[in-house]
């Protein structure tokens, strides 16, 4: 599986593309979606400030506050993603995740976690949503495994 990652960083937070690629790859490996095997998978990531994240969260989720991550999937369900993958020889664009590093850092501090660990956990969370995972034990377990693997 080949991974293509586009990062748009609109914050002063320094990011390492290799970190995002590691989380992306580990998350895909753990979910073992056969339909994506031997495909080129593309993901877009944006990092924004709290004010912009607040605005996006209000616009798209009707939540009047900032949040750590928003996911905008190209496919409504895992079944549709796999259907597209089975009929396509080209790249599969999963969608976009938008991250708020300040929000993630504040939560990490409150939880007594390292920022890097929290970031990996949240990146994986966003990717799992793009793959069609809803909130639940399975999703949270997978993202915890990814973050633990990259400690």
Sequence ranges of the domains in the chain: 2-149
Q: Out of 28-37, 42-51, 100-109, 137-146, which region has the weakest mean confidence (pLDDT)?
A: 28-37
- Biggest alpha carbon distance in the chain? 46
E-strand stretches of 26-136:
40-47, 69-73, 92-99
Sheet hosting strand 69-73, strand order edge to edge: 2-9, 40-47, 92-99, 69-73
Question: Is the distance from CB of 28 to CB of 140 less than 8 angstroms?
Answer: no
List the beta bridge partners of residue 102: none
* Assigned token pair, 80: 């549709």
What is the fold, at CATH topology level, of the domain defined by 2-149?
Answer: Collagenase (Catalytic Domain) (3.40.390)
Check if the beta carbon of residue 48 is closer than 8 Å to that of residue 98. Answer: yes
Q: What three-state secondary structure class fits 2?
A: strand
Model confidence at 151: pLDDT above 90: no
Residues 67-92 have a mean pLDDT of 91
**Using alpha carbons only, what angle is made at residue 123 by residues 52 and 2, rounded to the nearest 5 degrees?**
120
CA distances from 65 to 26, 69, 115 (A): 30, 12, 21
Q: For residue 140, is pLDDT > 90? A: yes
List, in sequence order, every residue forming a beta bridge with 69; answer none if it has no partner: 99
Percent of the chain having pLDDT more than 90? 88
* Average pLDDT over every residue of 126-144: 96
**According to the model, what pLDDT value does residue 5 have?**
96
């Amino acid at each position: 599986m080949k991974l293509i990652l586009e990062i748009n960083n609109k914050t002063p937070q320094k990011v390492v593309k290799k970190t995002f690629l590691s989380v992306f790859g580990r998350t895909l490996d753990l979910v073992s979606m056969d339909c994506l095997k031997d495909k080129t998978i593309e993901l877009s990531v944006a990092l924004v400030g709290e004010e912009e994240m607040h605005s996006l969260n209000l616009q798209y989720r009707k939540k009047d506050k900032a949040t750590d991550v928003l996911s905008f999937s190209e496919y409504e369900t895992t079944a549709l993603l796999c259907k597209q993958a089975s009929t396509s020889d080209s790249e599969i664009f999963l969608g976009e995740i938008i991250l708020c590093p300040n929000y993630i850092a504040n939560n990490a501090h409150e939880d007594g976690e390292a920022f890097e660990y929290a970031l990996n956990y949240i990146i994986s969370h966003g990717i799992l949503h793009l793959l069609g995972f809803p909130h639940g034990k399975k999703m949270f377990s997978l993202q915890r495994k990814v973050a633990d693997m990259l400690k």
